């Protein structure tokens, strides 16, 4: 494991994110928090002793953006209700843009694995399970469309539609078969994935969002981080690692 430390650390109040424990697990295995807490940008160096990230085959049930045979993997744990995850999502979209990657002149590719960490209440869980159903029933490409919508489009329940129904409405506007997604919901097919993600998060000692791991599949080296990075920092993260043969 490598410690990744950012320059210009944010004020001490932001260190509160490190105090969010993984306790009080719900039926899906995730803890809950009453409000989002801004992440601390000082990165942690706690080895995930109970969980090995170096085997890429484990990601076969995860949504993957980019080349599946890339040397580097950026694994993000995020909550759709977390405002800092939303900000980081916008940055990651720019970073993974093909034109931006070409500008880096890196000889190696990097892909993006998204993992749900719904710790901010019921709305977080509803969004996560709906996104899992989109992935399960409609595939990887549909997931990334819906993933972006969940971060960028406000969900507005009404007297006629509750929060979950409003999520189905958002899916229907993409021309998708909502009945198929609802059958996934009714059959509880998403629960297996959520429980697996909760077990992984616990083994990795995660306690805030966004949390991320930068994995080199050639060397097995993993850089652990909490908080948001800007484009320059992401570029440097990749370039520093590609300097290693």
Tokens, residue 26 = 């719900």
**Confidence label for 52 from pLDDT (cuts 50, 70 and 90):** low
* Cα separation, 175 vs 42, whole angstroms: 42
Q: Walk me through the domains of the chain, giving residue ranges and CATH numbers.
A: 2-49+70-242 (3.40.30.10)
**Confidence label for 245 from pLDDT (cuts 50, 70 and 90):** low
Give the predicted TM-score (pTM) of the model. 0.80
> Would you list the DSSP string of 157-193?
--SS--HHHHHHHHHHTTT--HHHHHHHHHTTTHHHH
CB 74 within 8 A of CB 113: yes
Cα–Cα distance list, 132 to 66, 114, 136, 142, 181 (Å): 19, 11, 6, 11, 9
Helices (H), 71-139: 83-95, 98-104, 122-138
**Confidence label for 30 from pLDDT (cuts 50, 70 and 90):** low
Residue of 45, 196, 184 lying closest to 115 (CA atoms): 196
The predicted pLDDT at position 69 comes to: 85
Percent of the chain with pLDDT over 70: 76
Tokens, residue 52 = 């090995």
Cα–Cα distance list, 60 to 110, 135, 140, 206, 238 (Å): 16, 12, 11, 21, 23
* Cα separation, 38 vs 6, whole angstroms: 15
Q: Which of 17-26, 102-111, 195-204 has the lowest mean pLDDT?
A: 17-26
**Confidence label for 130 from pLDDT (cuts 50, 70 and 90):** very high
The predicted pLDDT at position 116 comes to: 96
Cα–Cα distance list, 51 to 25, 62, 75, 85, 236 (Å): 19, 16, 14, 23, 27
Q: What are phi and psi of 74, to 5 degrees?
A: -100, 110
Mean pLDDT of 127-150: 96
**Confidence label for 200 from pLDDT (cuts 50, 70 and 90):** confident
CB 142 within 8 A of CB 135: yes
Residue found by looking up tokens 């652990």 in the block? 224
CB 205 within 8 A of CB 61: no
Per the prediction, the chain carries an average pLDDT of: 79
The predicted pLDDT at position 29 comes to: 61
Residue found by looking up tokens 């229907």 in the block? 172
Residues ≥6 apart with Cβ < 8 Å to 50: 203
CA contacts within 13 A on the Cβ side of 41 = 12
């Amino acid at each position: 494991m490598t410690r990744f430390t950012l320059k210009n650390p944010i004020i001490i109040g932001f260190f509160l994110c490190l105090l969010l424990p993984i306790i009080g697990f719900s039926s899906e295995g995730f803890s809950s928090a009453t409000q989002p807490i801004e992440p601390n940008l000082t990165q942690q160096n706690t080895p995930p002793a109970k969980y090995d990230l170096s085997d890429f085959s484990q990601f076969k049930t995860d949504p993957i953006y980019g080349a599946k045979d890339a040397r580097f993997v950026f694994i993000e744990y995020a909550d759709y209700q977390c405002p800092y995850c939303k900000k980081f999502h916008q940055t990651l979209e720019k970073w993974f843009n093909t034109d931006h990657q070409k500008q880096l002149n890196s000889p190696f590719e990097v892909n993006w694995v998204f993992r749900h960490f719904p710790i901010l209440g019921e709305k977080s869980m509803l969004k996560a399970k709906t996104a899992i159903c989109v992935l399960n029933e409609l595939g990887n490409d549909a997931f990334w469309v819906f993933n972006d919508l969940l971060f960028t489009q406000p969900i507005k329940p009404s007297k006629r539609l509750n929060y979950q129904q409003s999520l189905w409405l958002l899916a229907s506007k993409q021309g998708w078969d909502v009945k198929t997604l609802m059958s996934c919901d009714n059959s509880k097919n998403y629960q297996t994935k959520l429980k697996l993600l909760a077990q992984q998060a616990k083994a990795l000692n995660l306690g805030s969002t966004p949390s991320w791991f930068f994995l080199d599949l050639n060397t097995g080296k993993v850089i652990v981080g909490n908080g948001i990075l800007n484009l320059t920092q992401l570029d440097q993260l990749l370039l520093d690692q590609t300097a290693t043969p």
